[in-house]
Chains A and B, each alone.
Chain A
Amino acid sequence: MKKIKKGIPLIDQHNKNGFWGKFGGNFIPETLKKPVEDLTILFKKLRNDKKFIQERDYYFENWVGAPTSFIKLENLTNYLNGAQIWTKVVSEANGGAHKIYNATVHSLIAKRAGKKYIVGDTGAGYAGKMLSMAAKKFGLKCKIFMGAKDIKRQKPNCDAMRANGAEIVPVYTGSQTLVDAVSECMRYWVSNCDTTHMCVGSTVGPNIFVKICGWSTSQISKELFIQMQEEFGKIPKKLILINCVGGGSSSFGFWNEFMHYDKKQVMFIGVEAGGPKKSKRHAAPLTYGSKIGILHGAAQYVNQNTEGQIEETESISAGLDYPGVSPLHCFLKDAKRAKYTAASDEEALSAYQLVTKLENLNPSLEPSHAFAEAIKIAPKLSKDTIICVNSCGDALKDRDILRQKLGKYK
């Protein structure tokens, strides 16, 4: 079993070929070797460049809106009558989700690299929306690849992308969801890597994209770490950080600052998308023991058949509807630092209903999966246990699905 090293960020705990244990690496066509290497060198330079860090922090504070608030959900806590339920309202960030951190950093890098064009993938549409916002802000031309099925089910975010002047390229292959969007985006980059910067929307893809994304979303736990100390005077003795896991960028960012704590003190629970109760399909490779395979340039646990064909997924949540998962999470699972479980479509929906009934909060279907787990375990836990859920997205984008499933939206 691989151990997590202390004193080194997890994103840097890979070998020279880019592997965290058995996971990650760079399974890429020859054409992308050079652009990936260039990006790797540039990122290494920039993360040690004071001016770049200042710039990032400036935009995080003044444009993204850092810090997002950390609040107690009193009514939900009382209702569940067990552990205290807190939440970090990351959906307050400009644009309505954590995807803004990665999008901002990638756009700043693209500027430094002298690129005029930026492309990205999106599932829920948040990664696309945020990239379109950042591209507009920093004067880059933007193209977003999105599965045709997702374009239909996440219309509000598509409207936002178009309003920001981005072009949405619909992807009709395969299941017409996130996995196909990422593939098509990578193919586009193969053909245009000389002029175009690529942003991968989560902690997936070739090694460097995992690193940049994880580095960017870590802003969430940096804020939380300070907020917890302000609130409790210290890091609580029994803390559980619950986050949904699609590609794994919000969860990694939510946990990173707490990585070195003993898991008995700070426990991480990642909640994957279990799909409809009645369906065999799911988007939970960690929970259901999928085998290691290669997807989008990296080795990871991934839903696939015995031949190595990637399997179609099913989830009510477009953001979690992905057959693979970040190599960082595969590593955290194997190192037993984090636990992974799944919530079904139905569980996520009822969690959404309960949270919105009791609280002034409107978590999208992705974090509703995380709330489902919190609701499940809180009643069994002591009152001095602090559960914190990352409410990493706003449900406005899910308006149509929620209306259809619940008969109303808000």
Chain B
Amino acid sequence: MISSQINLAFNKCKKEKRPALLTYTVAGDNTKKKSLEILNSISNHADICEIGFPHNTPIADGGQIQTSSYRAIKNGIKMKDIFQIVKTFKKNKKTKPVILMGYYNMIFQYGENKFIKKCKQVGVNGIIVVDLPWPENKLFAKKCKKNSINFIQLLSPTTSKPRMKKIIRDSHDMIYLISMLSTTGGKLKVSPKKILENYNKIKKINKSKNLVIGFGITSKNISSFKKADGCVVGSEICKKISNSIEKRQNPVKNVNYMVKNLRRKLL
């Protein structure tokens, strides 16, 4: 079996003895064109790019990502634009894995099968659906797998061990560990040590899965997570975009600088 682009990206990082850096930005924030420019530039430093398809009733996102999402929706972003952004992006960056992330209603309205087909067409490598937990996601995850798309399961500090085992069993190449009880963008309210304990517990169940940590990770604390397979930074980037717009500065440049710095802190 050929390894997925996601797996390959992790393997490369492991060889370099560092965690993978995953970025999260919202498609269409603040415009279609700008969000593509941001992606193009940060993908020089990020190993995997998560791209949010924004929803206007997000029940698990904090202020920063909400602001980015509402801004993108207000500027008229549609599902078809999001696929176009991915398609254009993948044209220059063929091997850079892209993960789409969002809420189930958007997929439901688009049609599950049509959504997966379109993802495959434009080169999406993975999908995260925030509000489609296990076991409700089993069928959708299977459909993704059939189409060589990674369905990424989430684990949280509230996930019990027996449940963890079952979720891991049904997971694909990558698993996402939510660091703490929080929406996205919360302040890291538990110590990195505590988070890594939970991380190790999961790794013990299955070493071979690439496990990334997200929620509350910023330039300030990212270097505490060097032992992880990957770190996701989202809200800090979204906030930087907001600040740049506010100050009439170029978000592309500012975000690029930030992500470059994040990458440096993982070395």
A361 at the interface (CB under 8 A from B): no
A383 at the interface (CB under 8 A from B): no
> Cβ of A31 and Cβ of B178 under 8 Å apart?
yes
Choose the segment among A291-299, A313-321, A329-337, A372-380 that binds chain B (4+ C-beta atoms closer than 8 Å): A291-299
> Cβ of A309 and Cβ of B66 under 8 Å apart?
no
A-chain residues with CB within 8 Å of residue B55 when the two chains form the complex: 308-309
| Given A190-B60, A294-B104, A296-B59, A30 contacting B178 (CB threshold 8 A) | yes
> Cβ of B186 and Cβ of A30 under 8 Å apart?
no
How many B residues touch the partner, as a band?
A: 35 or more
A357 at the interface (CB under 8 A from B): no
Secondary structure call for the B interface: loop
A382 at the interface (CB under 8 A from B): no
Instruction: For residue B214, give the distance in angstroms from its CB to the closest CB of chain A.
Output: 12
A183 at the interface (CB under 8 A from B): yes
Alpha-carbon gap, A308 to B103, bound state (A): 10
> Cβ of A190 and Cβ of B183 under 8 Å apart?
yes
> Cβ of B133 and Cβ of A295 under 8 Å apart?
no
The 8 Å CB contact of A183, one of B57, B104, B160, B178, is B57
> Cβ of A187 and Cβ of B132 under 8 Å apart?
no
Interface string of B76-97 (1 = CB under 8 A from A): 0011000000000000000000
> Cβ of B59 and Cβ of A187 under 8 Å apart?
yes
B3 at the interface (CB under 8 A from A): no
> Cβ of A293 and Cβ of B60 under 8 Å apart?
no
A-chain residues with CB within 8 Å of residue B131 when the two chains form the complex: 27-29, 294, 297
The 8 Å CB contact of B78, one of A30, A194, A307, is A307
Alpha-carbon gap, A294 to B136, bound state (A): 14
Q: Considering the complex, which residues of chain B in the window 43-82 have a beta carbon less than 8 Å from any beta carbon of chain A? A: 55-62, 66, 70, 73, 78-79
B119 at the interface (CB under 8 A from A): no
| Given A173-B70, A187-B61, A33 contacting B109 (CB threshold 8 A) | no
Interface string of A282-311 (1 = CB under 8 A from B): 000000000111111100000010111110
> Cβ of A173 and Cβ of B60 under 8 Å apart?
no
B124 at the interface (CB under 8 A from A): no
The 8 Å CB contact of B58, one of A34, A35, A183, A292, is A183
User: B73, B78, B183: which has the most chain A beta carbons within 10 Å?
Assistant: B183
B-chain residues with CB within 8 Å of residue A28 when the two chains form the complex: 59, 131, 133
Alpha-carbon gap, A34 to B181, bound state (A): 12
User: A28, A31, A192: which has the most chain B beta carbons within 10 Å?
Assistant: A31
B130 at the interface (CB under 8 A from A): yes
| Given A27-B131, A173-B66, A310 contacting B183 (CB threshold 8 A) | no
A363 at the interface (CB under 8 A from B): no
> Cβ of A31 and Cβ of B181 under 8 Å apart?
yes
A186 at the interface (CB under 8 A from B): yes
> Cβ of A297 and Cβ of B59 under 8 Å apart?
yes
Alpha-carbon gap, A194 to B182, bound state (A): 11
B108 at the interface (CB under 8 A from A): yes
B-chain residues with CB within 8 Å of residue A27 when the two chains form the complex: 104, 131-132, 136
User: A30, A35, A179, A309: which has the most chain B beta carbons within 10 Å?
Assistant: A30
B-chain residues with CB within 8 Å of residue A306 when the two chains form the complex: 109
> Cβ of A296 and Cβ of B182 under 8 Å apart?
no
Q: Considering the complex, which residues of chain B in the window 185-205 have a beta carbon less than 8 Å from any beta carbon of chain A? A: 186
Q: Considering the complex, which residues of chain A in the window 244-302 have a beta carbon less than 8 Å from any beta carbon of chain B? A: 291-297
| Given A29-B131, A190-B182, A193-B181, A294 contacting B103 (CB threshold 8 A) | yes
A174 at the interface (CB under 8 A from B): yes
Instruction: For residue A284, give the distance in angstroms from its CB to the closest CB of chain B.
Output: 18
> Cβ of B181 and Cβ of A194 under 8 Å apart?
yes
B159 nearest in chain A by CB position? A30
Alpha-carbon gap, A237 to B230, bound state (A): 68
> Cβ of B105 and Cβ of A34 under 8 Å apart?
no
B167 nearest in chain A by CB position? A30
The 8 Å CB contact of B160, one of A34, A192, A310, is A34
| Given A192-B181, A307-B106, A308-B110, A29 contacting B59 (CB threshold 8 A) | yes
B14 at the interface (CB under 8 A from A): no
> Cβ of A29 and Cβ of B133 under 8 Å apart?
yes
Alpha-carbon gap, A363 to B73, bound state (A): 39
Alpha-carbon gap, A29 to B131, bound state (A): 5
User: B56, B60, B79, B154: which has the most chain A beta carbons within 10 Å?
Assistant: B56
Alpha-carbon gap, A29 to B110, bound state (A): 21
The 8 Å CB contact of A309, one of B56, B62, B155, B186, is B56
A27 nearest in chain B by CB position? B131
Alpha-carbon gap, A306 to B80, bound state (A): 12
Instruction: For residue A283, give the distance in angstroms from its CB to the closest CB of chain B.
Output: 15
B-chain residues with CB within 8 Å of residue A295 when the two chains form the complex: 57, 105
A54 at the interface (CB under 8 A from B): no
B156 at the interface (CB under 8 A from A): yes
The 8 Å CB contact of B181, one of A25, A186, A191, A310, is A191
B-chain residues with CB within 8 Å of residue A17 when the two chains form the complex: 136
> Cβ of B105 and Cβ of A308 under 8 Å apart?
yes
B-chain residues with CB within 8 Å of residue A291 when the two chains form the complex: 109
A29 nearest in chain B by CB position? B60
A-chain residues with CB within 8 Å of residue B158 when the two chains form the complex: 30-35, 193-194
Alpha-carbon gap, A193 to B182, bound state (A): 9
B62 nearest in chain A by CB position? A187
Other than the known A183-B59, A191-B181, what 15 A-B pairs have Cβ atoms closer than 8 Å? A17-B136, A27-B136, A29-B60, A30-B134, A30-B154, A30-B159, A31-B60, A31-B158, A31-B178, A33-B159, A34-B156, A293-B109, A309-B56, A309-B73, A310-B105
7 contacts between A and B (CB under 8 A): A27-B104, A28-B133, A190-B182, A292-B108, A307-B106, A308-B107, A308-B110
Binding site for A on B (CB under 8 A): 55-62, 66, 70, 73, 78-79, 103-110, 130-134, 136, 154-160, 163, 178, 181-183, 186
